Amino acid sequence: MRLVTGVLAGQPFVSHLTAGPSLSQRPMRRIIEPLSRMGASLKGRRAVVKRQNSSEAAAEIYPPLVIEGKRPLRGIAYEMPMASAQVKSAILLAALYAEDPTTIVEPVPTRDHTERLLSRMGVLIRQEGRSMTVKPPARPLATSRDLTIPGDPSSAAFFIVAASIIPDSQLVVNDLSLNPSRIRFLEVLQRMGASIAWKVTDEAWEPRGTLSVTSGPLRGVRMTADEVPGLIDELPILMVAACAAEGTTRFEGLEELRVKETDRIRAMTRGLEQLGAQVESDGASQLSIQRSRLRGATVDSFGDHRIAMSFAVAGLFAEGQTTITGVESVAKSFGTFFDFLTAVTSPSTVKTVDKA
């Protein structure tokens, strides 16, 4: 929704975007403000939101959205208040319809799939440190391009963590995206002591290659707020890895997890505690997990696909039977997840996953 809003902001007509129950709770002010500065008119459902653990309240805007586009848009210089690849991408796509240069400054680097794709399609983007500028006329090439999409690291992460924490496991993942902005969770797992190695076999427009992982002992680490934007989708499964790590693993700067498909801090805390994990959370931005012996239980995924898949891996690691409710949400991003899970956990010495 955020990306297509960037495209529609530059169209000379009015668009209406509606959403289901989960998406209707996702904050949209973060894209409405920069796109409005570019000249589009955007409206949504307004609500006053009380900040977690605070008496302060703030106005927020949620779907449905009404977008009155404009062409050409104005180019802007925008310093992003939060690290978000979705916000950055919405502005980059709108910049294709601007008459002036558009410059975006990120607080910390985020995933760069949009920049790579636009460059592949002929758009000139100048990058200097945390700043990137799109100069008009920023139109993609008239000639079409063939794109081969590598495997998604966020989907592979569940199997990588499973192979790291379940004794006597070995896993190979082929044709996996090894884009540096998407594999920071692998660096965290290596810091935890995981036996992981990867090799880029094709640079192309998106680096891709092969990864192998072997189970072994992990140790607790600290993940700082600066690291969170590069780990945002993998944080729930890293919390599962923390349950198997010697000592304490500390997660900081988790505010953005509270506005995903569900409040992922609350969902993971509640579910892991039901499984027997020792979790300490302030409910807002910090979480600590000690090594824990998990036991089977019934846990709720709150209709969040990444929470459901994370608890499935935790269930493999736990003693006894684990039941997860709301797993139909997994179809949102990985409809064949449970088929893959069955395949890689059946008896064998080495498992190979093609393009998770």
Known catalytic residues are 233
Calculate the CA 274 to chain-centre distance.
Answer: 25
Report the C-alpha gap between 24 and 197 in whole angstroms: 40
Q: How many CB atoms lie within 10 A of CB 115?
A: 20
3-class DSSP state for residue 138?
coil
Report the C-alpha gap between 176 and 116 in whole angstroms: 16
Q: What is the DSSP letter of 83?
A: -
3-class DSSP state for residue 320?
coil
3-class DSSP state for residue 355?
coil
Do residues 192 and 219 touch, judged by C-beta distance below 8 A? yes
Identify the burial level of 354 via C-beta atoms within 10 angstroms of its C-beta, where 0-12 means exposed, 13-18 middle and 19 or more buried.
exposed
Do residues 223 and 165 touch, judged by C-beta distance below 8 A? no
**Ramachandran quadrant class, 175 (left: phi over 0; alpha: psi -120 to 50; beta: rest):** left
Report the C-alpha gap between 92 and 303 in whole angstroms: 31
